[in-house]
Structure 1
C-alpha cells in the first residue's frame, strides 16, 4: 500500500510490548509496526522509560559494553529460551527501536515524534500491571492515539478508574481491541467516540503472513498432517481435552509448541518443538491440519490463515481475573462460537467455511486501517 500521509512523512512512536517469550505479544507488535511501515510512516518502537532509573540503565549499558553483563532482554532471548536466538534475530531484523539511556535523549525522541500510538495486546490490563507509560503519560502536547489497546478483562477496578480517566482524556482517538472494552472505557471517560478495531495481527493479510514465515527453519521433520497444539494455561483438564480432540479428528501426529507460561505440557506420542521462532510459529499454523489452542493470538492467526481450530478456555468464567471476554468477543464477531471446546457438543470438529468469515475480515481490515490512518492524519 502506498504512503497515505500527505507532505512530510510523519514520525510515529509506537508503545507496546514486543515480547520476550510470548509468541502472541511478538506477533502483534510486529504486525502493527509492519503495517505502519507499509503505510509509509517513519515508525519506531520505544521501550518503557523512567527517568528515576537512568543511573541503573546507564550502568547496565556500560557493563554490557565491556562484556561483564548483557541487557536482561537480550540475555533472556538468546540464552534462556530454546528459541531465543531466533526471537532476538527476528526483533533485530524487523523492528526499528529507540532505547534512550538518558532523560535528555528521551526528551529529544519525544520532541521529534509527531504522533504516539499505543497498542495492542493487554497493555491496559491494570490487574496485571498498571503502567502509565502504556497510557502515554509522557507525551506532553503530542498527539496520542490508541490502536486496539486491550484491557483484557471486562471491568476496571475502582482504584484505577480516576487515573485512567485523566490519562485517556488526553487521547485524540481511542480504538480498543474488544467490544467489551468500548463500553467499559466509554463509561469511565465519558465520551462516545471510542471504537472497536481489529487486533494488529489482522491488519496483515494472509499473503503477508505467508511471506513473513516463508524463511522458517526447522530442526525436525514436519509431517504432512498434524495437530498443532499451543496452550498457555496450566489446566489439569487440557490433557483429556486434547486426547478427545485427537480421537475425534483421527489425526495421529501432534506437534506441541511449548508456551513460555506452560513449558512442560505434554501428551503421549506428541513431538515437542521447542525451537519455534515467530516465523516457525506462523508457518506451523499455516501448515497444520488442525490448531488446538487457548491463545488469543494463535486463534487470530488461525482465523486470518483460514485454518481449522479448536478453542480451549484458559479461565473459568467465575474467575475474577478471567480473560475469556476477549476470546468470546473474537469468536462471536466471526460467528465461530462453535469452535469452543465442549465435552458434550462436538461441533468444534466440523470443517469451517471461511468464505463469509473472510468477507467480514476484509471489511474489518479496511475499516481498521482507515481508523489508524485517519487518527494519525486528522
Structure 2
C-alpha cells in the first residue's frame, strides 16, 4: 500500500500559493508514487479572496468606486476566477474532507502516514489566524510530521513567539525552512540543525512547467507582476523600455490602478502566469514567486522590495545564488540605473540547492 501523504498549505487564490502546492504534490507523486493529497482546508477569509465583488474598504466612497471599477473590469476578472478554479479542480488532488474551521481539522484530521506542512508563509505567527492547523497541532499518533520549506515571512522573532510556538515545533519529526532567519529560530528551539531548503516550485524543471503553461501571443516584452510595488515597479520598467524599446505588460491585482503601460491585464490564471514569464524578455516584480519563475526560466529580472518586513525569503534566495544585485531596495527606485547586463551563471549553485532540498525530502 502506498504511503498516504497529506499536505497542509495555504489554499489562497494567488499564483504563488497554488503553484507551490502543485509543485510539491507533483514532485512527491512522480518520485515515489505516493498517495499525495492536499488537505481541503478553506477558511471564510480564503473563500472571500476570490470573489470579484467584495468589501475592499471601510470607507463607503472608496469601496463604491472600487466596486464600480470591478464591474468595468468584470470580463477579465471573471476569466481569471474561472481559470483559477479550473486549475485547482484539474491539477490539484484534494482530500474528500472539506474543512472550514480550525476546530474541524484539529479534532478530526484526515488520516495519513505522513503530514507535511509547507510551503509559503504557513509558519507566519502574525498573519495566520489558523496557525495551529499549519503547525499540525493535533496528535500525530503513529504518523510523521514534516515541515518542508515553511516560510515565517518575518525576520525578527520575540521570546513570546518562541514560548507559544515551541511545543508545536518540537512535535515535528523533520524540520526545514525557506529563510535562514527562520531556520535559525527553529534550530534555537530544537537545539539541532535545521536546513534551509528551496521553495517547491524549484523541484520541477523549466520543461515541466512549460508543459502546463499557456503562452500569450506576444513575445519579448517587459512583464510587471505587481503585488504591493505599484508605481515603483512601473518606474523601473519604463526605464528599461526607454533603452530597449520593448513594450510593457502589467499584471496587477489592483482594479483601481491605471498605470502608464502598454497593456494592463487582470485575467491570468496560474497557467497564464507561468506563460507570461516564460515569454518575457525582462521581469519586474515585488513577488517572491514572480522572482522564482524568472530564475527558473533564466529571465533578466529586477525584484523590488515593497515590504521590508516580509522580504526575508527574497533575500535568502537571491543571496544564495549571488543575485543580490537584482534587488532594488524599498524607496530607492530613484537610484536605479538600468544597464542591460547578463545575469551571472547561477545554474550550478541552484542545482546544488535543489539537490540538497530533494535529499531532505528523501528522508521521509
**Which range is displaced more, 23-32 or 293-302?**
23-32
**What residue in structure 2 maps to residue 24 of structure 1?**
16
- Structure 2 CA distance for aligned equivalents of residues 290 and 153 of structure 1: 28
Once the two structures are TM-superposed, the CA of residue 19 in structure 1 deviates from its matched residue by 2.6
1:174 equivalent to 2:175? Answer yes
Aligned residue-pair number: 331
Q: Does the CA contact (< 8 Å) of 2:15 and 2:270 recur in 1?
A: yes
- Structure 2 CA distance for aligned equivalents of residues 156 and 149 of structure 1: 15
**What residue in structure 1 maps to residue 138 of structure 2?**
138
1:351 equivalent to 2:345? Answer no
Q: 1:335 to 1:217 in 2, by over 3 A?
A: closer
Once the two structures are TM-superposed, the CA of residue 225 in structure 1 deviates from its matched residue by 2.0
TM-score by length of 1: 0.79
Q: Does the CA contact (< 8 Å) of 1:77 and 1:87 recur in 2?
A: no
**Which range is displaced more, 263-272 or 151-160?**
263-272
1:330 equivalent to 2:317? Answer yes
Q: 1:75 to 1:256 in 2, by over 3 A?
A: closer
Once the two structures are TM-superposed, the CA of residue 75 in structure 1 deviates from its matched residue by 6.8
TM-score by length of 2: 0.82
**What residue in structure 1 maps to residue 352 of structure 2?**
363
Render the CA deviation track for 1:15-46: whole Å, top value 9, x for unaligned: 001331x2111111111111111121110111
- Structure 2 CA distance for aligned equivalents of residues 348 and 145 of structure 1: 44
1:89 equivalent to 2:64? Answer no
**What residue in structure 2 maps to residue 65 of structure 1?**
none
- Structure 2 CA distance for aligned equivalents of residues 348 and 38 of structure 1: 41
Q: Does the CA contact (< 8 Å) of 2:236 and 2:284 recur in 1?
A: no
Once the two structures are TM-superposed, the CA of residue 163 in structure 1 deviates from its matched residue by 2.2
Q: Tell me, what secondary structure is at the counterpart of 1:47?
A: strand
1:9 equivalent to 2:20? Answer no
- Structure 2 CA distance for aligned equivalents of residues 27 and 182 of structure 1: 23
- Structure 2 CA distance for aligned equivalents of residues 73 and 344 of structure 1: 39
Please list every run of 5 or more consecutive structure 1 residues that lacks an aligned counterpart in the other structure: 1-7, 51-56, 58-70
Render the CA deviation track for 1:330-372: whole Å, top value 9, x for unaligned: 1111100111235435366412143xx1111222222211111
Q: Tell me, what secondary structure is at the counterpart of 1:35?
A: helix
Q: Tell me, what secondary structure is at the counterpart of 2:252?
A: coil
Once the two structures are TM-superposed, the CA of residue 96 in structure 1 deviates from its matched residue by 1.1
Q: How does 1:212-227 map to 2 (within 5 A)?
A: 212-213=212-213, 216=214, 222-227=217-222
**What residue in structure 2 maps to residue 53 of structure 1?**
none
Q: Tell me, what secondary structure is at the counterpart of 2:148?
A: strand
**What residue in structure 1 maps to residue 225 of structure 2?**
230
CA RMSD of aligned residues (A): 2.8
Q: Does the CA contact (< 8 Å) of 1:12 and 1:117 recur in 2?
A: yes
1:296 equivalent to 2:288? Answer yes
**What residue in structure 1 maps to residue 248 of structure 2?**
254
- Structure 2 CA distance for aligned equivalents of residues 327 and 236 of structure 1: 20
